[in-house]
Structure 1
Amino acid sequence: MSFDVPEDRRYLGSHEWAHETGDVVRIGITDFAQDELGDVVFVELPDDGDALTQGDEFGIVESIKAVSDLYAPISGDVVAVNDALFDTPELVNEDPLGDGWMIEIEPNDDAELEGLLSAEEYDDQIA
């Protein structure tokens, strides 16, 4: 099975993606991760203004099969949370790379983003 792994993002081995848009980095889980999880029924996310450190747990995704922790790909302050996921968690399955995004962070260190996996490296990992 082939999964969508956009070239314009960086990836964590734990299946989170990070996409830089201007001054913020939008974060979500990969197409592969949502497929492995199955139907997502609940998402727990941090609050606006929370400070995250790279590698920290920032929330959970619960599906009919499992509960998975979410890890921050970079350090920074949460500047936006996708509130739509609280009422419509299935967006994570329907559009994990778009409307199913989770949080936006104002990064502390741009070098952290560069240190993440490239699309090619992530694709090799899930192959």
Structure 2
Amino acid sequence: MEARLEIAGLDEAIKQIAIKAVRDAIKEVIEPVLKEFKAEMVATSKDELMKKPVWTKKEIMAYTSKKSSWVNQLSKKYPDFPKKLNPDDKNTAIWDRDELLKFFARHPEIPTIEGRKNAK
């Protein structure tokens, strides 16, 4: 009987050590990766988009439900398309959200999540 109690106690101790090891691993490895991933996530819902003061091409794509090549054509097709805030940066172009929203309001022919919501 004593041996069983010792084994049960040992099992509980091993279980607690394993739980602590998993929690530590989550804090050290998984949480930082998740935080980094969240920081890089692109806003896709209207609420998320409206919280961001600047939009990348991916946010414009989410707002219009269009592909990257179509977004590239906006500045060529529409002379009043807002200018990039960082024209020298070739990797991550950003635009002022408010300027983009004004642009889309001037051009109702461009489909947006706003227009789709109002059409329903």
TM-score (norm 1): 0.26
TM-score (norm 2): 0.27
Bigger-Rg structure (1/2): 2
Query: In proportion to residue count, which structure has more strand?
Result: 1
Query: In proportion to residue count, which structure has more helix?
Result: 2
Q: Which has the higher contact order (CA 8 A, sep 6+)?
A: 1
